[in-house]
Structure formats: structure tokens, C-alpha cells
Structure 1
């Protein structure tokens, strides 16, 4: 049967899905082709603004404009002219409904999932060509496709063959997970860590001056600067998400403890207690501030 099976709106620069048709009960072949479509969405900036790809019993078509791509998955017998007219209608409505600022600043997948209402209505209309009222549009599109045909993409060009991904795009890094909102105690711990880093840095420079004037132990200078680096790295781990984040924070805290243990002759008990306590407090805040849970996929 000649029908449009799926449609999505994707940000071209990073492949972030902005909206998609929420389809249910699709067969395995459609699901496999949708995986190809996800790989394709990561390479949109490298491709022309109008492309088509055949995969088994399906065709994938897309157009791109103003940093947004409109993609559709159809049965291979569905007329390409109708498919591109369908994409143009999605493009006109999406540009009218949303401004570029929220589109460019979106960080969560499917931030404009409400656009699915328009996708579903338009898809139903184009799946019943007799109900189409715009005949001039079809004629214009036929002429445009004849003069500038879509660029044909092969699965091998995407690194796909027989439905299997053979290589990953090294330039695609995905969407970095966001951390939970900052709390007041977290801000305080970060400020205290910066204070400890500053104190270590000042003492480190003073130690360098003493080293130039007499036989001051160079290892103490290194300990001060390592303590500075460990405190600053804890601040970085608190602000940004990275792999093995909790382990790195414990290692940084261990380095703070070792530096202060080595510098025990140059600091009194209260100074040592302050630096170690701040390090432990910041480590706890890093542990408590976890990445946000993954957003739902809305069955797309």
C-alpha cells in the first residue's frame, strides 16, 4: 500500500529530533529503516538540501532549510512528488509556528512534540490523495524535481549495509546529558573550593619566592599547586557532566588530603581541617548533583 509511514523534524547541525509522528504498531522493517533515518540525521549538514534514500521496501525523503530538516519514511511505491509536497507543507507550518531562537537553543529531544498534531493531520491527508485540494503545488513540485532531482543516498554512503552499522560518525558526539539544577549548598561548596584554590595558589607563589631566596623544599611548592589544581577540578566536576564523574571527584579529594598531609608542618590544625572539610563537602555535592533522567521517547 502506498502510504507515508513516518515523519520527523530534526535540527540539522546535530541531528536533535525536534518533533515526530507518534506511531504505534509498526512492523520490524519500518523499525529497521527508522534506525537508518537516525544515522542519516547525524549527517544532514554534510548532505544537499533535498535527498532521497531507498532501503528495502521503503523510501526516505528529506528537505532542509534554515538549519532544520524535515524527513519522511514512505513505502517505495508512494510518489516522490507527493512526499516532497508533504515535506514542504511541514516546513511552511513549522517555520510559521516556531521562531529560530527556541529551535537553536533546544537541548532536549522532542521539545516541539506538539507539532505532531499537524504532522498526523497532514499525513492522513496525503495518504488519501483524492482529498488533496492543492493541484498547483503538485505541478510546481514536479517541475522542480525534474529540473533539480533529489540527491540519491546509498546505505553504504552512511556506513550502513544490510541494516547494520559498520562505522560511527567520529564527528557526532551526541547530546551531552544535563545535570540537575544547582542547589544553594552546591553553590556554597563551589565557592569554598575556589577559596581553597586561591589560598593554595597564594601560598604556592610565596613558596616560589622563598625557594629563590633560600633552600625551601621544592616539593612543598608542588604540593601547593597540586592542591590548587585539585580544588579547581572539583569545581569543574560540580558544574559539568563527564564520564566517571564520581570516581574523579573522589580521586581529587584524595589528592587534596595527600597535599594537606604533606603540608602539615606549614599549616596549623584549623587550616588543615578547613581544607579537608571543604574538599569532602564538595565531593558530597558532586555526588548529590546527578545527571537528569532521560526524556521520554514518546513512542517515536
Structure 2
């Protein structure tokens, strides 16, 4: 039977437990899962904002938002979309119920234990999915999980949570490895098509330049290099538009500079309009790369 077994609310900065379900389970494996849950609660700042850890008999899911972490233990067959909808409901109610300033200043564990009443009611509803009063946000959550699936934790991550220092933990600093970009706009797709077209034209001219060199030894081989550098710059801009990269905007400007320089060198082989076309497409592509930002959390992040 698929069900939610345990839930915990903690403060992210130090892992202080704020509230939790108060039922007492005797199952040893569940008690072990709770230990892992509490270990993760002290390291939430090191992990992406939404994670899943699959154990032999249980699954741990957790998410963080506005300095608070929401963690749960459920059976392995419990649907992921329901698990994160459950955590989302806890998040929304907790934000509404308690003042953020009070949450930051509490010193004692379980200072908001009265929130357990809401956790228990929500847990009962999600353990009987047919009785859920609303499914309005399920479609949104399914789409969110499809576009940005939870980060699946590994045994190495479990060691980190339990206090073992690994150099690999540095990958959690900054943007998560699953970072996605905002949906592409029509203008962005058009810029990609134009950029691929420019790259193809440069490649074709470069091949013809090689053929000309083979037939006529006095041709300048630097033209071939300029054509292929232009091709590489155009295609690299398409890559930067499609995928997240560190210093992405800076790399896009470098690619644009390379496009400009290569076309300046090819001034004798191209007319002014051809050069302006290539430079304009490169500039347009650079603008689209800059406009397409990584997906980020809004203050009311719903995951």
C-alpha cells in the first residue's frame, strides 16, 4: 500500500526541527529512514532545493523554500507527483500560519509542534488519494516534475548527510546540476535557425576555399580558418542558447566578437550586406542568449 509515513519541517540554516508528525512507528527500517531524514535536515543548504532518495523499503523526498525545509518519508510506490504536492501544501500552510521573523528567532526544537495537526490531516488525505478534495495543482506539478525532475540522491550524498566529508559535495554550491533554462521564445528559435544558416554558409565557403587551395597554391589558407572559426562561433551560440553554462553571457559575447573578427578578415570575399547580415545574426543570437535566463525560484516557489 502506498502512503506517506512521516513528515518533518526544519529550519534550513541550521537544521533545527520546527515540527514533525508525532506518531511512533516501531518498524526498524522506518526508524532508520527517519535517522537519514534528520541527517539530511542538517545539510539542506548543501543540496538542490528538491531531492529524492530511494532506500530499500522507503523513499525520502524533501524540498526547501524561503529558509524552511519540508521532508517526508513514504513507501517506494508512492507517486512522486503526490509526494511533492503534499510537501507543497505543508509549505503554503506553514508560510501562511507563522511569521518568518519568529521562525528565524526560535531557539528550541519543535517550537511549532502545533503545526503537527495540519500535517496529520494532510497526511490522512494524501494516504487516501481518492478522498483528496482537489486535484487542481496535480497537472502543474506533473509538468514541473517533467521539466525539472527532483535531483536523485546517491549513496555518496547519504554519506555527506551523515557527516562524511567528500570533495564531491562542492557540486552543490551554486546552481544545481539539473539547472534548466526558461522556455524558448519564437524570436529565440528564429535566431537559432538564422545562426545555423550562417554557420552552414561559413562551412560551405570554407570547403570551397579548401578546394580552391588544392587547385591553386597561391590561395590564402587564413580564409579557410576564418570561415571555420565563424562556423564554430555560430554553432556555439546555438549551444549556449539551448543549454545552461557558467559565464554563459560572457561566452556569448566572445562568440559574437569572433564572428565580427572573422567577417572583418573576409572583407575581400564578402560584400558589405553579407557581412552586416552575419554580424546582425550574431548580435541577435547574443541578445536571445542574454534574455533566456535560467529557471529560478520565485518567493512562492511551488514544487
TM superposition score category, shorter chain reference: 0.5 to 0.7
1:107 alignment partner in structure 2: 148
Counterpart Cα distance in 1 of 2:231 and 2:247: 21
TM-score (norm 2): 0.55
Counterpart Cα distance in 2 of 1:88 and 1:240: 41
* Contact 2:43/2:161 (8 A) holds in 1: no
* Contact 1:160/1:166 (8 A) holds in 2: no
Counterpart Cα distance in 1 of 2:240 and 2:158: 39
Structure 1's 49 and 169: CA in aligned 2 closer, same or farther, altered over 3 A? farther
SS in 2 for 1:65: coil
Counterpart Cα distance in 1 of 2:257 and 2:75: 53
- Structure 1: state its 5+ residue gaps: 9-20, 53-58, 76-85, 110-153
SS in 1 for 2:16: helix
1:56 alignment partner in structure 2: none
1:233 alignment partner in structure 2: 236
SS in 2 for 1:7: strand
Counterpart Cα distance in 1 of 2:239 and 2:157: 41
2:160 alignment partner in structure 1: 159
1:35 alignment partner in structure 2: 41
Counterpart Cα distance in 1 of 2:232 and 2:244: 18
* Contact 1:189/1:282 (8 A) holds in 2: yes
1:93 aligns with 2:101: no
1:50 alignment partner in structure 2: 58
1:271 alignment partner in structure 2: 274
1:288 aligns with 2:297: no
Q: Deviations over 1:155-188 (max 9, x none)?
A: 9952245xx5723468989463333343333233
Counterpart Cα distance in 2 of 1:253 and 1:299: 37
Structure 1's 253 and 27: CA in aligned 2 closer, same or farther, altered over 3 A? closer
* Contact 2:230/2:258 (8 A) holds in 1: yes
* Contact 2:5/2:75 (8 A) holds in 1: no
Counterpart Cα distance in 2 of 1:277 and 1:229: 17
Structure 1 segment 58-69 matched on structure 2, within 5 A: 62-65=74-77, 68=80
Q: Deviations over 1:54-90 (max 9, x none)?
A: xxxxx98553226749699x99xxxxxxxxxx98985
Q: Which structure has the larger Rg?
A: 1
Structure 1 segment 170-189 matched on structure 2, within 5 A: 174=176, 176-189=178-191
Counterpart Cα distance in 2 of 1:190 and 1:92: 48
TM-score (norm 1): 0.55
